[in-house]
Chain A
Amino acid sequence: MEISNLPISPSIRSKLLSKGYTSLSSLSSISPSFLAQELSVKLEEAVEVLRAVSDTTTSKSAHIPNGIIPGAVTAWDMLSEEQMQRHISTGCEDLDAILGGGIHCKEVTEVGGVPGIGKTQLGIQLAVNVQIPVEYGGLGGKAVYIDTEGSFMAERAYQIAEGCIYDILDKFPSNSREFLSCKERLQVNNFLAGIFYFRICSYTEQIAVINYLENFLTEHGDVKLVIIDSVTFHFRQDFDDLAQRTRVLGGLSLRLMKLSKMFNLAVVLLNQVTTKFTDGSFQLTLALGDSWSHSCTNRIILHWNGNERCAYIEKSPSVASASAPYLVTGKGIRGINSNFKRARIM
Chain B
Amino acid sequence: MHAYYLARKDWKRSILLIKCQVVQKVASESDNESAGTKRKKAKAEESWGDWQVEDDLMMDTEKEDFKSRLAPDVTPNRQLPWLTGIELLSDTNQNKHFLPTGLEGIDALLGGGLRQGQVTEIVGPSSSGKTQVCLSSATHVVDRNFGMVLYLDTSNSFSPFRISCFVNQLHPSLPKELKETSLQTIMSNIYCQSVFDIFALLDLLHHVETTLKHTVKLGGSKLCLLIVDSVSSVIAPVIGGKNSQGWCMMASVGVLLKRIAYEHNIAVLVTNHMVGGENGTLKPALGESWKGIPHIRLLLSHGFRSYCQFCDWQLK
Contact = CB atoms under 8 A, between A and B. Distances in A.
Query: Are A and B subunits of one complex?
Result: yes
Interface stretch (B31-39, B82-90, B152-160): B152-160
Contacts of A71: 193
Contact of A294 (B148, B163, B210, B233): B233
Contact of B306 (A61, A74, A312): A312
B243 to A, nearest CB: 12
B234 interface: yes
A314 B156 contact: no
B155 A68 contact: no
Contacts of B197: 254
Contacts of B174: none
Contacts of B158: 75, 78, 317
Interface stretch (A87-95, A133-141, A215-223, A299-307): A299-307
Interface in B277-313: 280, 282, 285, 305-308, 310-311, 313
Nearest to A292: B126
A317 B73 CA distance: 45
Interface stretch (B44-52, B91-99, B182-190): B182-190
A294 B230 contact: yes
Contacts of A317: 131-132, 135, 157-159, 162
B103 interface: no
A108 B196 CA distance: 13
Nearest to B190: A75
Given A24-B210, A73-B191, A312-B306, A251 B155 contact: no
A208 to B, nearest CB: 17
A interface: dominant SS: mixed
A231 to B, nearest CB: 16
Contact of B127 (A114, A244, A304, A314): A314
Interface string A237-264: 0000001101110110111011011000
A30 B6 CA distance: 24
A108 B155 CA distance: 8
Contacts of A285: 311
Contacts of A294: 126, 155, 230, 232-233, 273
Interface string A1-43: 1000000000000000000100011101110001001000000
A254 B237 contact: yes
A317 B161 CA distance: 9
Contact of A261 (B194, B234, B276, B315): B194
B204 interface: yes
Interface residues of A, number: 76
A250 B233 contact: yes
B148 to A, nearest CB: 7
B187 A303 contact: no
Nearest to A323: B306
Given A29-B77, A294-B155, A1 B72 contact: no
B162 A69 contact: no
A204 to B, nearest CB: 17
A37 B194 CA distance: 43
A47 B261 CA distance: 32
User: Which among A30, A79, A114, A243 has the highest number of chain B CB atoms within 10 Å?
Assistant: A79
Contact of A247 (B220, B236, B313): B236
Given A107-B156, A291-B236, A75 B306 contact: no
A82 B125 contact: no
Contacts of A295: 155, 233
B185 to A, nearest CB: 9
A293 B126 contact: yes
| Size range of the chain B interface in the assembly | 35 or more
Nearest to B191: A72
A69 B204 contact: yes
Interface in A29-68: 29-30, 34, 37, 57-58, 60-61, 66-68
B276 A68 contact: no
Contact of B276 (A289, A296, A315, A321): A289
Contacts of B191: 67-69, 72-75
B223 A243 contact: no
Contacts of A70: 207
Contacts of B7: none
A289 B280 CA distance: 12
B314 A74 contact: no
A93 B307 CA distance: 22
Nearest to B165: A318
Contacts of A57: 210, 214
A155 to B, nearest CB: 30
Nearest to B236: A250
B58 interface: no
Contact of B240 (A66, A79, A247, A301): A247
Contacts of A338: none
Contact of A30 (B72, B211, B238, B276): B72
Contact of B275 (A278, A290, A304): A290
A314 B302 CA distance: 13
A284 B311 contact: yes
A304 B305 CA distance: 16
A69 B187 contact: no
Contacts of A315: 126-127
9 contacts: A1-B210, A25-B213, A74-B190, A78-B158, A251-B237, A254-B237, A255-B196, A315-B126, A317-B132
Top 5 A-B residue pairs of the complex, sorted by shortest distance between their CB atoms: A79-B160, A315-B127, A76-B187, A318-B159, A250-B237
Given A279-B280, A293-B125, 7 more contacts: A24-B210, A61-B211, A66-B220, A69-B193, A75-B192, A82-B161, A253-B233
